[in-house]
């Protein structure tokens, strides 16, 4: 289906996603989104009354995609939560190898958003939800301190996302995965000892 055949809201979101991810929400004006999506200004404002509404919808799309990739990578490891905690780093490897990779959309957007705004709050919410999911996996893996392990692993994940764009080293995600295995092994008893 061509771009013109898509509903206007979806064309706007697809265009915003591409532009915001490549240039950051602050670096893209509403007029550019309008021109590249092929909609009228009134149509954009009907669906997204403020630019922040469009940025929030963009972040929701990124959240669904990235969090979905993390969960799918974890599930692919099987039922052992210890293995799932490490396997989620396979999503990092896939993300960093993607053409047009520009790092973590949430970190990038947070860096250009003022604290206390809806947009900044949404970036923090995403990171909090991911960390809570990792902490739940850590609890199921019988980590001695699941919240600490979740903090360590999500910091490692964020560092891997940043390294993927800063040094473009294809070995960075693998190194993060090895470090994750070390952290999980140190924090969680082997399944056979339970």
Q: Tell the CATH topology of 52-187.
A: Tetracycline Repressor; domain 2 (1.10.357)
- 100's CB contacts (< 8 A; 6+ apart) are 21, 22
| Dihedral sign computed on CA atoms, order 171, 173, 179, 181 | negative
What's the pTM?
0.91
CATH number, span 1-49:
1.10.10.60
81 or 6: whose pLDDT is higher?
A: 81
Residue 90 host element (H or E): helix 89-97
- Going by the DSSP 8-state scheme, the letter that residue 99 receives in this structure is T
Map out the domains of the chain as residue ranges: 1-49, 52-187
Q: For 44-90, how does the pLDDT look when each residue is reduced to its tens digit (9 = 90+)?
A: 999 999 999 999 999 999 999 999 999 999 999 999 999 999 999 99
Q: Find out whether 163 and 61 touch, Cβ atoms under 8 Å.
A: no
| Distance in angstroms (rounded) separating the CA atoms of residues 85 and 98 | 22
Nearest to 84 by CA among 150, 21, 128: 150
């Amino acid at each position: 289906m061509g771009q013109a055949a898509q509903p206007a809201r979806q064309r706007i979101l697809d265009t915003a996603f591409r532009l915001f991810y490549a240039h950051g929400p602050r670096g893209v004006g509403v007029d550019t989104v309008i021109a590249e999506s092929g909609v009228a200004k009134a149509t954009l404002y009907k669906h997204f009354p403020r630019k922040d509404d469009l940025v929030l919808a963009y972040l929701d799309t990124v959240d669904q995609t990235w969090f979905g990739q993390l969960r799918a990578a974890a599930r692919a490891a099987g039922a052992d939560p210890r293995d799932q905690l490490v396997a989620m780093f396979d999503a990092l490897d896939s993300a960093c190898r993607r053409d047009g990779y520009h790092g973590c959309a949430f970190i990038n957007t947070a860096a250009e958003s003022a604290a206390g705004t809806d947009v900044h709050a949404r970036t923090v919410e995403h990171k909090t939800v991911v960390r809570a999911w990792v902490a739940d996996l850590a609890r199921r893996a019988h980590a001695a301190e699941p919240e600490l392990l979740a903090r360590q692993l999500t910091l490692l994940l964020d560092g891997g996302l940043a390294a993927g764009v800063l040094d473009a080293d294809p070995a960075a995600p693998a190194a993060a995965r090895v470090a994750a295995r070390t952290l999980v092994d140190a924090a969680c008893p082997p399944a056979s000892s339970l």
